[in-house]
Amino acid sequence: MKKMLYDSRSGDWRKALRAVDGMKKLPGWLIDQKSYCMAITACGRGGQWEQAVRLLREMPTEGAAPDLSAYSAVIDACAKGGQWKMAVFFLMEMPTKGIAPDARSYGAAINACARGGRWKIALDLLREMLARDVTPNVIIYNSAINSCAKAGQWEIAVSLVKEMATVGLAPDVISYSSAISACGRGGRWEEALELFEDMRTSGVAPDVITYGSAIAACANGGRWKEAVSLLRKIPTVGLTPNVISYSSVITACAKEGQWKIALDLLREMKAMRLAPNIITYNAAIDACAKGGRWKEAIDLLREMPTVGLPPDVVSYSSVIDACSKGDRWKEAIDILREMPTVGLSPNAISYNSAIDACAKGGQWKEAKGLLREMPTAGVTQRVIGYNSAIAACAKGEQWKEALALLREMPTVGLHTTVFSYSSAIDACGKGNLWIKAKELLREMATVGLAPNEVCYNSAIDACGRGDQWEEAVDLLREMPTVGLSPDVFSYSSAIAACAKGDQWKEALAVLKEMSAAGLAPDLICYNSAIDACSKGGRWKMAVALLGEMRAAGLTPNIISYSSAIDACVRGGQWKEGIALLEEMRGSGVVPDVITYHALMVTCAKYD
């Protein structure tokens, strides 16, 4: 029986229980503490924590009082079974039985808490150990560091690594790797790299897992160059990069839209006979999506089955997103429709990306149709989907549809956002409904939303389209009073409104305000100001603005020259107009028919 029990220690818990039962049946045989400990250990290694607890409770009835080894074994069994509460319970019970927990007992309980995501309790137990003069070992510290890492408590994880030296312990590769991982999860890539360097200067050689943790930290921080650099260092220290290493670097490249490097790394993996997994491919597709490379994204999707990797919902959703960013709404819908044919159900991300693609393509009917389809497909409609549909309606100049969707959102339990309103305001502007646009801007405060620059810009543009230059200028000047800084678009929209309202003085005043605010007028601002001067018969100012444009490093285009020439025509200055025409052609700008006609009429009039 003893040999049978001894042989069961590897985790054959059934053999251990049979041995214990057999020993009970032997006449006059008493099971000693050591035998129970071996059986409890076997149950723990076999994942049978309940059986381990039963054996511990049975010991007193068989004349074997539970000792330090028995409690430590049962705490370890609870840890392996994911029972952190039971592990802590038995640790706390030990002093009540006159047993002082040792490093093994505490270590098992801390490990249980680490596995159960209870980093605070793990830390408390570590502190309790030190207070009771029980010396932790490296493994115990590593468990505590790992628990903090999983919880994103990077500062505590790093402090524990530094604390180890104060208790006479040298952090090992696991200590550093866990702390580096913690920094990565906390978005602290600089601290991760600092630890990485500290590790090497301390004489601890990083392994592939350490490099992977450091690369992941750089990936989370959007530092693709540092991630690539670390990957290149791996072979120089005698290690071989693995799939995880490459996948992490490709993810880093994806976050920054470095699609070329991501694809190069994917091809490099194959050359090294490393088999990319679905995470690798999805990261590469995501890189293509962020770079607007829809063709490459689709090619990767088609390649996946050929290497034994069926694409998943993430793969398809990323490709749809790539099509959206590449302004390929038809392809986005095609990919969405393909998903059910390969046994995949589109999720909210899939639909929202497709709706966004339709929005960018101005396909409001398709966008709205997809939004309506979502509930029937068992997909919950989300704010982002409605916002994209409203934007699609705005681009398609369907203000009624945009407003209807905006009003519908609260009825389906969705909160409108600033983007919802800005798109609806834009739709009203394109529909020449400046009053409604302004009403929506004012309405935002009543629903607890603060308009941003985009909302004001859309409202200013709406007023300009509706020939309401005063309203446009008023909104522009209102922005700083609500804590917003007008941008170039704000000013250009207001200047365009003044031009449309034949208000050259106001247009120039706004242009001057813009420069005073530290903003450089762009081509559109100057063109609108020249147009305003043209309509006001101020040909000298129009020509002066043209010169000012060049001095500011801007190249006048056909609109700039045509407006300035028109100003000269209106002012009867045919010679100046012809001079501008020659200058226009000399700068490589081809005059259009309207420009020639205007000059011909003027020349004939003053001939």
Residue that terminates a domain, selected from 481, 512, 543: 512
Class of residue 240 by CB neighbours under 10 A (exposed 0-12, middle 13-18, buried 19+): exposed
Kindly state whether residues 21 and 102 are assigned to the same domain: yes
Kindly state whether residues 81 and 15 are assigned to the same domain: yes
Kindly state whether residues 381 and 503 are assigned to the same domain: no
Residue 316 lies inside a defined structural domain of this protein: no
Residues 204-242: tens digit of each pLDDT: 999 999 999 999 999 888 899 999 999 999 999 999 999
Residues 14-53: tens digit of each pLDDT: 888 888 888 777 766 567 888 888 888 988 988 899 999 9
Measuring CA to CA, which residue among 295, 294, 262, 268 is closest to residue 281?
262
Kindly state whether residues 471 and 562 are assigned to the same domain: no
CA distance 146 to 432: 60
Residue 342 lies inside a defined structural domain of this protein: yes
Report the number of secondary-structure helices (H) and strands (E) in the chain: 35, 0
Kindly state whether residues 3 and 131 are assigned to the same domain: yes
Give 427's Cβ-side CA count (13 Å radius): 29
Residue 360 lies inside a defined structural domain of this protein: yes
Structural domain boundaries enclosing 587: 520-606
Residues 451-485: tens digit of each pLDDT: 999 999 999 999 999 999 999 999 999 999 999 99
Per DSSP, the three-state class of 396 is coil
Residue 280 lies inside a defined structural domain of this protein: no
**Total tally of structural domains belonging to the chain:** 4
User: Helices 364-376 and 399-408: crossing angle, nearest 10°?
Assistant: 30
- For position 577, which CATH number holds? 1.25.40.10
Enumerate residues 6+ apart whose C-beta is below 8 A from 438. 459, 462, 463, 471, 475
- Name all contacts of 269-275 with Cβ < 8 Å and 24+ positions apart: 269/243, 272/241, 274/241, 274/242, 274/243, 274/246, 275/243, 275/307
Q: What is the pTM of this model?
A: 0.75
Residue 502 lies inside a defined structural domain of this protein: yes
Kindly state whether residues 489 and 585 are assigned to the same domain: no
Residues 335-365: tens digit of each pLDDT: 999 999 999 999 999 999 999 999 999 899 9
Kindly state whether residues 72 and 88 are assigned to the same domain: yes
Residue with tokens 């997909």: 379
Residue 222 lies inside a defined structural domain of this protein: no
Residue 126 lies inside a defined structural domain of this protein: yes
Kindly state whether residues 353 and 467 are assigned to the same domain: no
